[in-house]
Structure 1
Amino acid sequence: NLDEFVRIIRASANRNEAKARLMEKFTISERQTNAILDLRLYQLTGMEREKIEEEYAGLMVLIEGFREIIGNESRLLEVIKDELLEMKEAYPSPRRCIITEAEGDIRMEDLIPNDGCVITITKNGFIKRTSVDEYRSQHRGGKGVIGSGQREEDPIDQLFTANAHDTMMFFMDNGRVYVEKVYEVPEGKRDSKGRSIVNLLQMQKGEKVAAMVCVEDFEQPVSLVLCTRKGVVKKTHLSAYRNHRKGGLIGINVDEGDAVLEARKTTGEDHILILTHNGKGLRFHENQLRNQGRVTRGVRGIRLREGDHVESMLVVDDERLLLIAGANGLGIRTEFSAFLPRGG
């Protein structure tokens, strides 16, 4: 075909025409065509043609050898063995580092940064995890930013801050408790709707999240105090919840018509304050509550009058002030010391 290549090139007016005619005549690529056009005339002599043919034959033998290696596993292993022996002879010095089996298991926490995040749950049960970097500090008169994708039809019901490696305890209104790592909560943007919490927790029908508590581990020397709408309180050591499971645990036996309202961590030296719908408040030391097992009812924490119910329970911090806001928009700010221990 070399004579035909020369004839087409000599008959062409310029390089581009010769390139087009060669690609039209023969099934060759543009790169091969450019290589042919770049050939010097001395390479068309008999001796040079023999070199090209020998090179072509050598390449075909090499390709056939590669195909044999790829298609034959035993041949492939033999080649690998030979190459490893060659490397062993080329580098005879002993290895300086020691190769051992991995010690310990790789936990999910090792692969996830322990960043701060905000957990929100809406009235309709949509949950999401948002990085604290999504929010910025603003002055007192700032307008704020959108924190939920469904602001009017599905407002936020629960909001909590935690670190990604922390453990979240979800207390249901019927007394059951579900435990999940914070990083397992679906992540979303500030203005996203989130995902239904039933996709995260194996909740029973009709359950609703009443409170959330964040803990680092279950060996901390703290207790959990639960309070119901009808004023029943119960104190349980945190370690009682360490053997948790996906299906949830019983945190408190709730009476018919009652519901869990709050859950708080206490250190053993804290005071508890219970506030009712009619504006009553009761403060007492937590040592008046003994640690009970999980599957118990608890004791009466406050005596309620007819038509009244508990609105909130919190741990007293005498270094801070308490702000109480009413449904009519009126509010009062007072010191915790205004509520005397064991008094109203």
Structure 2
Amino acid sequence: MARRTTKQDLPDDFEEHILDIDVGEEMRNSFLEYAYSVIYSRALPDARDGLKPVQRRILYTMNDMGLRPDRGHVKSARVVGEVMGRLHPHGDGAIYDALVRQAQSWSLRLPMIDGHGNFGSPDDPPAAMRYTECRMDRPAVAMTADIDEDTVDFRPNYDGRETEPSVLPAAIPNLVVNGTTGIAVGMATNCAPHNLVEVVQALRHLIKHPRATVDDLMRFIPGPDLPTGGKIVGLDGVRDAYETGRGTFRMRATARIETIGRRKGIVVTELPYGVGTEKVVERIKTLVQGKKLQGIADMKDLTDRDNGLRLVIEIKNGFVPEAILEQLYRQTSMEDTFGINNVALVDGQPRTLGLKELLEVFLAHRFDVVRRRTTFRRTKAAARLHLVEGLLIAILDIDEVIALIRSSENAEEARTRLVQVFDLSELQADYILDMALRRLTKFSKLELDRQKNELEREIEALDAILGDETLLRSVVSDELAEIATTFGTPRRTVLLESAGTAVIASATSVEVADDPCYALLSSTGLLARTSGVDELGSGEGRANHDVVVSAVATTVRGEVGVLTSAGRLLRLGVLELPALPPSAHDPNLQGGYPLSEVLSLAAGERALALCTLATDGPGLALGTRDGVVKRVNPEVLNRDEWEVIGLKDGDEVVGAVELVSGEESLCFISNVAQLLHFPAAAVRPQGRSGGGMAGIKLGAGERVSWFGVVDPAAPEGPHRPVVVTASGASTALPGTEPGSVKVTPFSEYPSKGRATGGVRCHRFLKGEDTLVLAWAGTAPARAAAASGAPVDLPPADGRRDGSGTPGSQPVAAVAGPLAARLGPPTSTDPAVQG
């Protein structure tokens, strides 16, 4: 039994040392230490590599373990144990959670870890770490590349026995691309993911133009690009976040109305970021059971690994699907908000950063990394050159060197005599002495001379980078372009200025006035309708987003056709399209609906143009990738879709237009910059099943880049026809290189016979071998990037086969002014009514 010590038991000379402490002061100090620890060591990311300490330690440890993409997976528990034992003693749960998040494609836009096994879903947690396996994904290799070349500082780990990097070299702008979330003490961070290709374009623009504004950068980064896709409705909050670091935007699920058996149904294919299917299903069931949501007959979750998310909501007969969809957006998490709060550590201090500040911090880090890497490589090359020069001296008198070494009493004497006799440094002498004799005798002077020349050239190139800041910035820019080419993917999230104002009352659609209007299709696949010629503008203005690539005159209760790359014509009710606001004097379809919401296209199928469903007139003209041209007799069938051309295997339609008079010229432009145009009358009209005839002569490996119609009789002036071409490298990822752009009057190109090769319309520069874009039509031409942002075109050049000028950013689409393409719609014209 333990005995209690009393004061009488203490020795006589024992002195009491009692320290009086203010409890309030002690709590304040302890809380501040805890808060600092959470802010700097756990919750907030570094603005340079976008990683929290635990994420950085995971990637660094996996790199040290050699768990690269070309190696096999290992148990996640092994990685977690290694991280916890060496660098992060805060518990295996936190480490495994961070590891799992870096492997989830619905959490990160660019996952860093390749997971094998059950890593969960938006609704379900992952399996235990003893069941899952992992290894580094390719982006993680780019994040840790060159870490062994003194590119970043290292600091002691928690027990001082090892060192860890304070930041990773980070060749990828991880914080902007993948975003992050974290809750510290008194502050939090919530950064939205973005598209890598768009971010790299903005970074390269900022390298060339350091004084670029937020508006300039938003031409490349129009908004976030969420891993789960969906739509962002309203961009005002995004702009606020880009300017101040704080803002809120609405995320909306991607859904379309389909016929399911005998009923209409809502098919949801993408949900807002961070929202799981089960959460939506439970909420809908609760609303239906509480009789707060009427009209839903059944609901099926058909999501699987092969087809992705697919939630089918069947609607009872007599209910309007569009109205129920609006209620779902309003009452469930099919529409959610995302609050941007860009708080990150800069020089060890938490700061709220706007878009430009985020990019500038990353660029400053990359400049420092490349500068330190270059210095390291230069020092290493100089040291090797020094040794090679010593070997060259020794090789010239190899017999004397061997005799000198053999006659020496010990290594110290041999070193001293080598330095004195051959005028070598101690490093050179030690290197010769440490080398095996058989290696020394096998060296060839020619081989050493070649190695010396290569090292001298390498040192000269490295010195040039260190001595020229412009060249250093160019190296960083080129490396970023390579990153975009390697890891870039197309945008997943659709950006909408507003939700649109679609009419959602099909039961009362007969009461809607059958007013004249225009149906519009944009370059990014948005559909809308608008009324009045004034709203379409004269074509001299400037759209803030997107260009209208196709438009037809129709009526509100009419129907139009959608021509696709698969050679199909799909029927579309104009009433299903959202109406643009009356203030839209310049064509801007950011209030439109994505085409996937109103039509179902096959994988890889694209919408090319709109047309009326008139049964008279000259009909349609189509051109295919393999150079086939076809005119289709006007014919409207009593079905929702039908084929208008018989395509051969591997071929697809690249251009489709509706002829107005039949006197137009049909124009082909190939990827090797050959342009051919000939009268439409040279092509005999065929029925729907016809396969067309030879349009342009192509060589092996060549294909058609663009097909359309041009009015050669247009008078000279501001609306004369022009040809726009952009060249680039066929090996580059589409949308990553601006290329060389040229605008030429169409009158410079003579008409040739059908089935000939045409004439050259663009001369390639060094490194270019293909046209990445081509278009011909009425001036002034308008261009847009893949994000929909406008792109400036150079002035017209009279040289029909000249080379282009470097573009400001990649061009994804070109169109002419609508006023020059359309006349006023009339409800009495049967061709307009469709």
Once the two structures are TM-superposed, the CA of residue 175 in structure 1 deviates from its matched residue by: 1.3
Aligned-pair RMSD on alpha carbons?
3.3
Q: 1:237 aligns with which of 621, 624, 633?
A: 633
2:646 equivalent to 1:221: no
Q: Aligned partners of 2:575 and 2:657: how far apart in 1?
A: 22
2:656 equivalent to 1:257: no
- Kept in 1: contact 2:521–2:610 (CA 8 A): no
2:722 equivalent to 1:330: no
- Kept in 1: contact 2:678–2:751 (CA 8 A): no
**Deviation string, structure 1 residues 283-335 (Cα, Å, up to 9, x no partner):** 33334433222123222211112343223223342322331112112211132
Q: Map 1:53-202; keep pairs closer than 5 Å.
A: 111-117=512-518, 119-123=520-524, 125-132=525-532, 135=535, 137=537, 144-146=542-544, 151=545, 158-164=549-555, 167-189=559-581, 190=588, 192-202=590-600
Give the percent of matched residue pairs that are identical in Structure 1 and Structure 2. 22
CA spacing shift, 1:196–1:306, aligned 2, 3 Å: same
- Kept in 2: contact 1:119–1:162 (CA 8 A): no
- Kept in 2: contact 1:316–1:336 (CA 8 A): no
**Deviation string, structure 1 residues 105-129 (Cα, Å, up to 9, x no partner):** xx96884243333513453x44222
Q: Aligned partners of 1:194 and 1:136: how far apart in 2?
A: 15
Once the two structures are TM-superposed, the CA of residue 336 in structure 1 deviates from its matched residue by: 7.2
CA spacing shift, 1:314–1:336, aligned 2, 3 Å: farther
Letter in 2 for 1:238: P
Q: Aligned partners of 2:657 and 2:670: how far apart in 1?
A: 17
CA spacing shift, 1:318–1:110, aligned 2, 3 Å: farther
Q: Aligned partners of 2:517 and 2:565: how far apart in 1?
A: 27
CA spacing shift, 1:285–1:195, aligned 2, 3 Å: closer
Q: 1:280 aligns with which of 645, 650, 674?
A: 674
Q: Map 1:39-58; keep pairs closer than 5 Å.
A: none
Once the two structures are TM-superposed, the CA of residue 243 in structure 1 deviates from its matched residue by: 1.1
CA spacing shift, 1:132–1:160, aligned 2, 3 Å: same
Q: TM-score, normalised by structure 1?
A: 0.55
SS at match of 1:170: strand
CA spacing shift, 1:341–1:201, aligned 2, 3 Å: same
Q: Aligned partners of 2:539 and 2:642: how far apart in 1?
A: 43
Q: 1:291 aligns with which of 665, 685, 692?
A: 685
Q: 1:211 aligns with which of 568, 593, 609?
A: 609
**Deviation string, structure 1 residues 145-166 (Cα, Å, up to 9, x no partner):** 43xxxx4xxx557442423255
Letter in 2 for 1:179: R
SS at match of 2:650: coil
Structure 2 partner of 1:63: none
- Gaps spanning 5+ residues in structure 1: where? 1-106
CA spacing shift, 1:262–1:269, aligned 2, 3 Å: same
Letter in 2 for 1:164: T
CA spacing shift, 1:304–1:139, aligned 2, 3 Å: closer
- Kept in 2: contact 1:211–1:261 (CA 8 A): no
Once the two structures are TM-superposed, the CA of residue 231 in structure 1 deviates from its matched residue by: 0.8
Q: Aligned partners of 2:578 and 2:537: how far apart in 1?
A: 24
- Kept in 2: contact 1:318–1:336 (CA 8 A): no
Letter in 2 for 1:119: L
SS at match of 2:596: helix
CA spacing shift, 1:108–1:290, aligned 2, 3 Å: farther
CA spacing shift, 1:278–1:291, aligned 2, 3 Å: same
CA spacing shift, 1:291–1:109, aligned 2, 3 Å: farther
- Kept in 1: contact 2:621–2:632 (CA 8 A): yes
**Deviation string, structure 1 residues 59-80 (Cα, Å, up to 9, x no partner):** xxxxxxxxxxxxxxxxxxxxxx
- Kept in 1: contact 2:633–2:685 (CA 8 A): yes
CA spacing shift, 1:237–1:137, aligned 2, 3 Å: closer
- Kept in 2: contact 1:222–1:237 (CA 8 A): yes
Q: Aligned partners of 2:691 and 2:539: how far apart in 1?
A: 46
- Gaps spanning 5+ residues in structure 2: where? 1-507, 582-587, 715-719, 727-739, 759-834
Q: Aligned partners of 2:650 and 2:601: how far apart in 1?
A: 20
CA spacing shift, 1:136–1:324, aligned 2, 3 Å: closer
Letter in 2 for 1:163: T
Once the two structures are TM-superposed, the CA of residue 205 in structure 1 deviates from its matched residue by: 4.4
Letter in 2 for 1:221: G
Q: Aligned partners of 1:133 and 1:235: how far apart in 2?
A: 29
Once the two structures are TM-superposed, the CA of residue 238 in structure 1 deviates from its matched residue by: 0.7
Letter in 2 for 1:229: R
Letter in 1 for 2:722: L
Q: TM-score, normalised by structure 2?
A: 0.24
Q: Aligned partners of 2:671 and 2:604: how far apart in 1?
A: 25
Aligned length: 223
Q: Aligned partners of 1:136 and 1:313: how far apart in 2?
A: 24
- Kept in 2: contact 1:179–1:244 (CA 8 A): no
Structure 2 partner of 1:86: none
Q: Aligned partners of 2:701 and 2:517: how far apart in 1?
A: 41
SS at match of 1:198: helix
Once the two structures are TM-superposed, the CA of residue 236 in structure 1 deviates from its matched residue by: 1.5
Letter in 2 for 1:129: R
Structure 1 partner of 2:153: none
Once the two structures are TM-superposed, the CA of residue 211 in structure 1 deviates from its matched residue by: 2.4
Q: Aligned partners of 1:285 and 1:134: how far apart in 2?
A: 32
2:709 equivalent to 1:318: no
- Max radius of gyration: which structure? 1
